[in-house]
Amino acid sequence: MWINRLRIFASAACLFSAPASAHEMWLEGVNYEIDVDEKIVSNLKVGQNFKGSTYSFFPDSFQRFDIALADQLKPVEGRLGNRPTVDINALGEGLNILLYQSNDMIVTYTEFDKFASFVTHKAFENTLAEHEQLGFPKDKFREVYSRYAKNLIGVGNARGADRSYGLETEIVALENPYTDKLDDGFDVKVLYQGSPRKNAQVEVFEKTADAEDDVRVFTTRTNDDGIATIAVKPDHIYQLDAVVIRQPANALAQEKNAVWETLWANMTFATP
């Protein structure tokens, strides 16, 4: 029993220390469309290009973990160390949504080139000039980061709609991928503190269920209303990622003398 607990704590420690500069965190459904009498099974993963490590259910690692169906909202329940991370009953027939907010975590940079590569990849090139102007160190500095993930699961008729559930940054589906026609793309709205993010980069990861090694990655941007249209294909699985970078605005960042803070919004869904 003690060995199992040590493994759980080690897994959580790896999750805490996973560099924000290198990895996405997402909720990956075992099945994205299920019958009413089936359970919702999903895994919390950290990695790149839809490949990564699976993490156990560990309450000390998150601030919020809920399942939603329209206006219904209920905490996700599980036993310490459960894997799959989520193995629960749906709230009912329709579009069920898993919502996850991690704790704040810290990464320490000792190579400025890695930070420069990260902010350039996430389309925040101006951050490099700001880092210089503010006199922040380049040899060693800290960033605090947090994750905000959603997983769309169609249960039974899968009817319903996503909405904002109050995450500090959040991707909101404006269409239902399981019931709506997506010939003209899949529309989402990117929010930060409840307001639309204009000209925000959305990174898209696309794969088929049986092609783990064939992941297509591309980016798009939101319009003036914070809306991005994702070109999607039938019978694929998608992960969307949108990052906010700001000067630290929380107690942990101040305590750890972090000079930057990143907030990662993520969404996963499938197309029938």
CATH number at residue 96: 2.60.40.10
Percent of the chain past pLDDT 70, that is, above it, reads 89
The pLDDT value given to residue 21: 44
Residues of the domain holding 20: 2-271
* pLDDT over threshold 60, residue 107: yes
- Listed residue (131, 176, 136) closest to 153, CA to CA: 176
Tell me the C-alpha distance between 86 and 215, whole Å.
24
* pLDDT over threshold 80, residue 8: no
- In the chain, the number of structural domains is 1
**pTM listed for this prediction:** 0.91
The pLDDT value given to residue 257: 86
The pLDDT value given to residue 253: 66
* pLDDT over threshold 60, residue 16: no
Identify the weakest region by mean pLDDT among 6-10, 75-79, 85-89, 227-231: 6-10
State residue 129 phi and psi, 5-degree precision.
-65, -40
The pLDDT value given to residue 17: 47
Tell me the C-alpha distance between 114 and 266, whole Å.
22
Tokens of 102: 């991690």
Strand partners for 52: 47
| Tens digit of each residue's pLDDT (9 = 90 or more) over 144-170 | 999 999 999 999 999 999 999 999 999
- Listed residue (65, 72, 13) closest to 44, CA to CA: 65
**Alpha-carbon separation of residue 35 from 91, 102, 141, 172 (angstroms):** 12, 29, 49, 24
